[in-house]
A and B are shown apart, each in its own frame.
Chain A
Amino acid sequence: MVSSLGELERAVMEVLWDRGAPAVVRDVADALAGRELAYTTVMTVLDRLAKKGFVRRQRDGRAWRYEPTNTRAGYVAQLMLDALALTGDRDAALTRFARSVSTPEAEVLSQALAEARPEDDEQP
C-alpha cells in the first residue's frame, strides 16, 4: 500500500496520541504493522515530525523516545482559535464565514489550549 507522507505523518501521530507514553521507532512501526512500512520509513516520518515541532525526542539508552508535544484536542483548539480570529493579528491568514464567538466560549478554548501544552514555551 502506497501512502503519501502527509498521511503517514498523520498515522504516526495517531499512534503516539493513542499510546499516551513516549515510544521508540519500533513501537510505532509495530503499531502500524498493517501498513508494512520499513523501519527506516517510520524513522524518517518521526524525524520530519520532530523538525516541524509536533513531536519531541529524548535519548533513552541507545534509542530515541518520541512523544507528541501537544494533545490532539490541543491542536484542534489551536485551529479553532485561529478560525475564530481570537489570536489577534493573524487576521489575513484565513477568511471566515462569520466571525462570532461569545467570551465564555473563547475562554474555554484558551483554557483547552493552555492545559494541552504545559511548560511549552518555545511554541511561537
Chain B
Amino acid sequence: MNTALHLLVTLAVCLLAVGPLAGARWVWRSPHTGILLWQLLALTVVLCVGGVAYLVAPWLGGAVAATLLAVFGHHWLATLRTRRQHRRILSLVARADDAVPGVLVLDHPLTVAYCLPGLRSHVVLSSGALAALSRDELAAVLAHEQTHARERHDLVLLPFLALRPLCRSVADAVALLVEMRADESACPRSLSMALRRFTAVTPPGTLGMADAADAAVHARLSRLSAAAAPLPWWLRWSAVVAGLTLVSTPLSFLVW
C-alpha cells in the first residue's frame, strides 16, 4: 500500500506540473532542456500508472503495458505506411534543382517546405517556396529542416503524438519546442523573414487546422524577435535533475 501511495503522489506531482509546463515560456529559451523535461515527465507518468495498475492486479499492469505498446506500434506503423507512399510518389514527381543541391523540388505554386524523415531523410521544397525565398531565407529554412532530419525529431514526437488524443496541449507544447529547437540552427533574422513569407499566404483568423499552427508560428516569431539568451547552465541542470528525481521514484520500485 505504501508503494501505491508513493506512486500516486508522484503521479499527482507530474499531473500538476503538466499545466504550468505546457504554458511555460522559460523553456523556449532552451528548447532542448524543455523536450528532455517533457520526456522525463511522460516516462514518469507512464511508469506510475503502470505500477499502480500492477499493484491493483498484476494482469491489469500487463494490460496497461500491452495497450501502450499497441497504441505506439499502431501509430508508428501508420506513420511508416504514409511515409512510404509519400516517398514513392516523391520519387516519381519531384526533381532535383541546381539552386538547392540535395533537396527535392515539387512543382507547385504554394509555399511549402518539409522534411520526410527516415533512415534516408529528404528535405522537400515547393517551387513556390523556391521562388518566394531569398538566398539567406532559403539557407535558414534548409538549416531548420536539416536539423529535424539530423536529430530525428519525428522519433522524439512519436510517443507524444500517439497519445495526443489523451492530452492535446502536451503534444502541441512538445511539437512547438521541437520547432524551436530546429530554429536554433538557423540565422534568426533570415528565419523570421522566411516564417513571415510562409504565413503571408494565411489571412488571419482562418478557422480549423490553421489556428493551432498559426499560434505556433507566432510563438516562434516572438521567440526569434525577443532573442533571449539560453537559460543559465544551473537552471537547465536543476530542471533535468528535477525530472530525473521524478523518474527515479517509480523506477526504484520497479527495480525492487
Question: Using a CB–CB distance below 8 Å, which chain A residues touch chain B?
Answer: 6, 9-10, 13, 52, 54, 72, 75-80, 82-86, 89-103, 105, 109, 124
Q: List 22 A-B contacts (CB under 8 A).
A: A10-B92, A79-B124, A80-B110, A83-B106, A84-B110, A84-B112, A91-B161, A91-B164, A92-B154, A92-B157, A92-B161, A93-B79, A95-B145, A95-B178, A96-B114, A98-B213, A100-B198, A100-B210, A100-B214, A101-B202, A102-B203, A103-B207
**Stretch touching chain A among B12-20, B42-50, B82-90, B230-238:** B82-90
Residues 211-226 of chain B, each 1 if its beta carbon lies under 8 Å from chain A, else 0: 0011011000000000
Residue ranges of B at the interface with A (Cβ–Cβ < 8 Å): 75, 78-79, 82-83, 85-86, 88-94, 106-108, 110, 112-117, 124, 126, 141, 144-145, 148, 153-154, 157-158, 161-162, 164, 178, 182, 194-195, 198-199, 201-203, 206-210, 213-214, 216-217
B80 CB to nearest A CB, Å: 8
Bound together, the chains give a CA A78 to CA B93 distance in angstroms of 11
Cα of A49 to Cα of B103 in the assembled complex, Å:
24
Known A92-B157, A97-B144; 8 more pairs at CB < 8 Å: A79-B94, A83-B106, A95-B114, A95-B115, A95-B153, A99-B217, A102-B210, A105-B110
Given A79-B106, A95-B115 in contact, is the A103-B124 Cβ separation under 8 Å? no
Chain B residues with CB under 8 A of A54: 88, 92
CA distance A98 to B85 in the complex (A): 22
A76 to B79, CA, bound (A): 19
Q: Which residue of A lies closest to B196 (CB)?
A: A98
Are A94 and B117 neighbours in the complex by a CB distance under 8 Å? yes
Q: How far is the CA of A72 from the CA of B107 in the complex (A)?
A: 10
> Which residue of the partner chain, among B94, B116, B148, B201, contacts A101 with CB atoms under 8 Å?
B201
Instruction: Tell me which residues across on chain A come within 8 A of B145, comparing CB atoms.
Output: 95, 97
Q: How far is the CA of A73 from the CA of B77 in the complex (A)?
A: 28
Q: Which of B78, B153, B198, B207 contacts A97 (CB 8 A)?
A: B198
Most buried by A among B82, B198, B216: B82
Q: Are A103 and B82 in contact (CB under 8 A)?
A: no
- B209 proximity list for chain A (CB < 8 A): 85-86, 99
> Would you call A97 and B141 a contact (CB within 8 A)?
yes
